[in-house]
Structure 1
Amino acid sequence: MPESRVRRVLGATDRRLDTVVDGGFRWIRGHQPPWWLVDAFFVAAAVGDAVLDISGATDFETAMSLLAAAALVLRRRLPVTAFALTVPGLFVGSAVVASVVALFTIGQRTDRRWLMLLAAVVEFVGFGGFVGPPQNLEDVIVSIIYALIFALGPLSIGLLAQTRQRLTERLAERDSARAEERRQAAEVALSRERALLAREMHDVVSHQVTLIAVQAGGMQMAGRDEAERGFARTIRQLCVVTLQELREMVQVLRAAGGTDREIAPQPVLADLDRLVTAAGLDTTTAVDLPATLAQPVQRAVYRFVQEALTNVRKHAPGAAVHVSGEVVGGVVTVRVVNGPAASDRLELPGSGLGLIGLGERASLLGGRLESGPTPDGGFALSLRLPVEHLPPTS
């Protein structure tokens, strides 16, 4: 019974110690000191090694030892030069620390194996003291053992650090490759969803809009008066335009990736007259905008007027509308102003996001959207966009 209790205590203690040590290693890996602090520590240790052995040393030996310590400043950029500068101090002075650090750096930052071997041999000879007076056999054996440790140990640790760095880079490349594979898989899934959405839009939405167009055409033929036939004609024309835009949207959704082509044809300023006519409102226009405006600006102007006329039909039926546009001081200014409603407001469904979308479009182009009521009970919308310094088109 006491033995089992001792085993449990020893096992628990062993696990706790492992946990503490692992936590310490994790902390060290997450709090690595800056490189300059590490180099300063190495230089200070090398200077201390030279100073502690300075008694009885000649001025030349002291100078070589201090030169070896100073050479560690170059070890990151010029590891071979740094090691070469420590060699005189290793042979005639006290530069063991400096030469060991320089040898470690060669193993860490050099790929040439012959150069590593040469540096290890120099370290072995210099540390072993084989260039001095003859020694007895016991001293030779001890010198060989210590020289092998100081020659192969730093070099091996440097090679281990180099291997670890390369493995870390390969793991990072593998993680990056896996992330790219996941991104490509997500794009494939998105393409499939777009294709499914395109089929649904084509099979369901376009079918319903086509039925509306057919019914509107029948109403246009059998209308009791010109007003009914005009309403039916407008509905039918809007259905035709919607079907065309829906067909273009389906083509975009079916395209692989869906980002390397645009909805075509894109509306431009030349289409404003057709848009105003199709709206069926009492509209006057005074649009003086050059056809050389950038395509994003022309699309933004078209969508702005389109949304404004839609809002007038919804919220101010029968109101007079005035559309104006001009370029002043490098700024495109477009205004749509309507008077008060001439008949009861139509209760039509809406998302309430039309003006928000226009504002976002204007913001993306570096402009702004303003809206508000007018003194006579109407409503005014104003769009301002810069002519220059536009972001690139998608």
Structure 2
Amino acid sequence: MTRRPSPLLLDGAAVAMALLDVWAHWDIHEPLRMACGLSAALALLLRRRHPLLTFCVTLPSVLLSDAVFACLAALYTLASFKRPRTLLVLGALAFAFADTTSLPARGLDLTSRTTLIALGYSTATAAAAVFLGQLVQTRRDLSLRLTEISQARDRQELLTAQAALAKERAQLAREMHDVVSHQVSLIAVHAGALQVGTKDPNTKEAASTIRRLSVQTLDELRHMVGVLRASGGNPTDLTPQPALVDIRRLADNCGIETELTMDLPEGLPPTVQRAAYRTVQEALTNTRKHAPGATARIDLFQAGDRVHVRVTNTAPTQPPLPLPGAHHGLIGLRQRAELLGGTMSSGPTSDGGYEVRVVLPTEVTG
């Protein structure tokens, strides 16, 4: 896109052209005419703020001298900022008569062919300045209209996208409510029945853990459904984000034997606390899925300006169950750690277990 010159530069060029016009008709013996020409040239500095006043100030220079550029520039500016056609017609006629009369002439003889030709030429010159100003005004109005249309189109596209997103969220909420919540409810019911009907202590404890986790999952699902359905309506508060104090409860309710050691100061940034919690959560989930019968050790401590989160599990004592998974958990942990300026590493241990280690800065910027 071509960059337009600044208004100050254009005004300076107009004044320079007007001064050049005065210099071309300079006559040292006619100081009044030259003073009018110079005043008209300098008056062009006001043409954008006061176009009508500038035209009136420059008109005497046409009547008293041959320097007409300043008045034509003022007439062009008047036409580019003002809409009343009557005003523009009167301005063009005033310029034409002033240019044709040129005091101190005795008068305007309209019966003379030469006078009529000069009047027609002056009128055409003034009309050209008016038409050019009107063209610039029309172009400016069209540009503003196109900008408004473009903004309206962008708003419409945004509304359409938001409507589509709201529709998708509503559909997702229905699926979660009708399918996922129903299946989790069945899990909780069967786990409760197993807990009541069995006499084996280990089975009863496992059924109790399954039922408790199912109920917690149902509560979270109901809240998520409420958030999705509230899209586009009244805002719904999100579930409180986990912190370091929740890791103890997570370890106790994970369904596997864990040993937790946590030595971290208070006041860590919430993002660091959430990252530590999610690391432990994901590591324990992977242990339950891929290492049945294993035990886990959780270590959280600070070394210098870094928070270390390490979750290690022993080798499994039972064959893993074929559970579905997208294999995105560890990738998500690595991305979360990198966004916070930390690192993440994972891999098997020498005793056949597995270790997940995340190192995070204690101060997160950005």
TM-score by length of 1: 0.73
Residue in structure 2 matching 1:96, options 61, 65, 68: 68
Q: Give how far 1:251 is off.
A: 0.8
- Contact 1:57–1:93 (Cα < 8 Å) also in 2: no
Where do residues 172-321 of structure 1 align in structure 2 (5 Å cutoff)?
Answer: 172-223=147-198, 225-257=200-232, 260-289=235-264, 293=268, 295-321=270-296
- Contact 1:269–1:291 (Cα < 8 Å) also in 2: no
Decide whether aligned partners of structure 1 residues 112 and 387 sit closer, same or farther in structure 2, where only a CA change above 3 A counts. farther
CA distance in 1, matches of 2:177, 2:164: 20
CA distance in 1, matches of 2:334, 2:42: 64
Q: Give how far 1:104 is off.
A: 0.8
CA distance in 2, matches of 1:314, 1:367: 29
Q: Give how far 1:149 is off.
A: 2.6
Q: Give how far 1:194 is off.
A: 1.7
CA distance in 1, matches of 2:231, 2:178: 20
Q: Corresponding residue for 1:5?
A: none
Decide whether aligned partners of structure 1 residues 361 and 260 sit closer, same or farther in structure 2, where only a CA change above 3 A counts. farther
Structure 1: gaps of 5 or more residues: 1-29
Q: Corresponding residue for 2:117?
A: 142
- Contact 2:287–2:313 (Cα < 8 Å) also in 1: no
Q: Corresponding residue for 1:123?
A: 95
Structure 2: gaps of 5 or more residues: none
CA distance in 1, matches of 2:341, 2:216: 28
Q: Corresponding residue for 1:352?
A: 327
Residue type of the partner of 1:384? L
Residue in structure 1 matching 2:5, options 34, 43, 48: 34
Q: Secondary structure at the match of 2:253?
A: helix
Decide whether aligned partners of structure 1 residues 295 and 260 sit closer, same or farther in structure 2, where only a CA change above 3 A counts. farther
Q: Secondary structure at the match of 2:297?
A: strand
CA distance in 2, matches of 1:328, 1:117: 84
Residue type of the partner of 2:70? A
CA distance in 2, matches of 1:118, 1:386: 76
Q: Secondary structure at the match of 1:279?
A: coil
CA distance in 2, matches of 1:323, 1:294: 20
Where do residues 317-328 of structure 1 align in structure 2 (5 Å cutoff)?
Answer: 317-326=292-301
- Contact 2:169–2:231 (Cα < 8 Å) also in 1: no
CA distance in 2, matches of 1:327, 1:123: 85
Decide whether aligned partners of structure 1 residues 288 and 118 sit closer, same or farther in structure 2, where only a CA change above 3 A counts. farther
Decide whether aligned partners of structure 1 residues 251 and 158 sit closer, same or farther in structure 2, where only a CA change above 3 A counts. same
What is the root-mean-square deviation in Å for CA atoms of aligned residues? 3.8
The number of aligned residues is 358
Q: Corresponding residue for 2:357?
A: 381
CA distance in 1, matches of 2:232, 2:276: 28
CA distance in 2, matches of 1:329, 1:94: 85
